[in-house]
A = this chain, B = another copy of it.
Amino acid sequence: MDFTHFNTQKRAKMVDVSHKDYTLRIAKAYGEVVLSKEAYLAVKEGRVKKGDVLAVAQVGGIMGAKQTPYLIPMCHPLTIEGVDISFEMDDENCTIKIFSEVKITHKTGVEMEALTAVSIAALTIYDMCKAIDRSIQIKNIHLLYKEGGKSGTFDRVALKDRQ
């Protein structure tokens, strides 16, 4: 199988999607931030007592999703029609799990928008916590779900053994 993003000069191009149809596209992505116990508890308890790290990460991630075409060189500019981000606190592993969902009715999908939302939200958590913990790790960023377009629906559950 060949790359779609290179022209006959073997240089990158923004793929021509002008002939494609408008269809509803949904993409969901996932990622994790692993913190020290101290930093993890500071985030968890912060919402009430100190300040809400995840509220900032939520806004960072949503604004990041809008910047996707201006960050990822070959991405198409798109007018995304909905973005949501949610968090799950995994106490056992001191890990914040990040879930994003992006929707659009357009000629191309929004996987990269969903993945960028997760990445920028994760980096924002990192930034807010780095004074407490210098060994934060961002990991396991991948696509969870994709619907719409010629390539059909993608559901990660069937694939998770691979990694």
Contacts and interface: CB of A to CB of B under 8 A. Distances in A.
User: Interface residues of A: mostly helix, strand, loop or mixed?
Assistant: mixed
- Number of copies of chain A assembled together: 6
Given A1-B42, A53-B3, A69 B66 contact: yes
Given A59-B60, A127-B112, A128-B74, A85 B3 contact: no
Nearest to A160: B135
A12 B51 contact: yes
A17 B80 CA distance: 9
Interface residues of A, number: 99
A2 B53 CA distance: 12
Contacts of A8: 86
Contacts of A135: 142-143, 156, 159, 162-163
Contacts of A139: 139-141
A157 B135 CA distance: 11
Interface in A41-92: 42, 46, 49-56, 58-60, 62-67, 69-87
Nearest to A8: B86
A18 B163 contact: no
